[in-house]
Amino acid sequence: MPPLLRFCQLLNDTAWSTALRESPWDYYIIGGAHLLGIAWWGGLVVIGDLRLLGIALRPTPVSQVLDQLRPWKWAAFAVVALSGALLALSEPLDCYRSRSFWISMALLALFGANAAVYRLRISPARLAACISLFLWAALVFAGRAIAFF
């Protein structure tokens, strides 16, 4: 058995995982928080990207918009990461076997890498914004597919 599968099996057998999986409400509350966090984070990402592209908030300097959004983006990301980790903990074996889950994780990593590259000012802002919007949309679709594939 591959080490990661063994780890997922260990997680699956924990009391926390079982409680999340078998609770009549916890899974749905956490799933709802995850979706709200995705909407919150995604909305902030889109606003920042549209400002970088010069489509929205044109009178406000890009740096001012991004600086004001940054703490809110981190808070929203924390909600998404925590709720997503709890959802994965509730069904670790299903996540391990889900291609959509792994595609989502890869897209999330690419999304973070794109943000880091832009933050280091290595790539042009408009290109970074376009890549960000594409990755965000792909991440949402892949994330939704986890429930079906």
pLDDT digits (tens, 9 = 90+) for 74-126: 999 999 999 999 999 999 999 999 999 999 999 999 999 999 988 877 668 88
- Give every CB contact of residue 89 below 8 A, 6+ residues apart in sequence: 11, 14, 16, 17, 20
Half-sphere exposure for 38 (CA within 13 Å, toward CB): 19
pLDDT digits (tens, 9 = 90+) for 9-27: 999 999 999 999 999 899 9
Domain boundaries, the chain: 3-145
Neighbouring C-beta atoms of residue 24, cutoff 10 Å: 6
Quote the tokens at residue 33: 């928080």
